[in-house]
Amino acid sequence: MTPEQIKEFGQERWVAGYLRQLRNLEPPEEGFIGSVSLGSSMDDRLGHNRFGPFHKVADFHDYLRFGGPLETWNYDPVYWEYTKMYFAEFSFYQTFFAAVVGEPGIEKYPKELRAERDIWRVVNPWQYDDFYGKPLIHGGRLQGGGSLCNDEGTWAGGN
């Protein structure tokens, strides 16, 4: 893509617009976290097991912390798609991240991204598999990732 196409990609009519539409969707019940079919979900960020559904955000956060306490945690999970996009990036995503970071119409979550990065440094996604049960294997392979961006979401992986 040309630099202009990359910039346009992040703008309102593309990524920013899609994110806004997704964030405006109403869950089937307040605090629900699960699949669109109201069942369990799967996300490589959390290993390779299905998880949920959760009917309270606090239950989802409890799952993320392996049941451990966090007395001051009182945030909605609206940050998830922003921090998740940085989880398994590769150098060929650099232009995509530049478009997202450079677009003022996309809400950024730098504090949540820093918190996620702290978790990623300590918790390997496969620990969820070990803690919660046997991982699911798709096509004979498990897949995972690691981040190459710094705490602000700026590319730090080189070329």
The CA distance from 44 to 73, in Å, is: 23
Q: Distance between CA 27 and CA 125 in Å, rounded?
A: 26
Cα separation of 155 and 25, whole Å? 30
pTM value is 0.51
Instruction: Give 88's pLDDT tier (boundaries 50, 70, 90).
Output: low
Written as six digits, the tokens of 35 are 């699949």
Of 45, 51, 135, the residue nearest 84 (C-alpha): 45
3-state secondary structure of 141: strand
Q: What is the mean pLDDT of residues 98-114?
A: 84
Q: What is the dihedral of CA 86, 88, 94, 98, to 10 degrees?
A: -20
Please report the pLDDT score of residue 68 as a whole number.
Answer: 66
Least confident of 24-33, 36-45, 140-149: 140-149
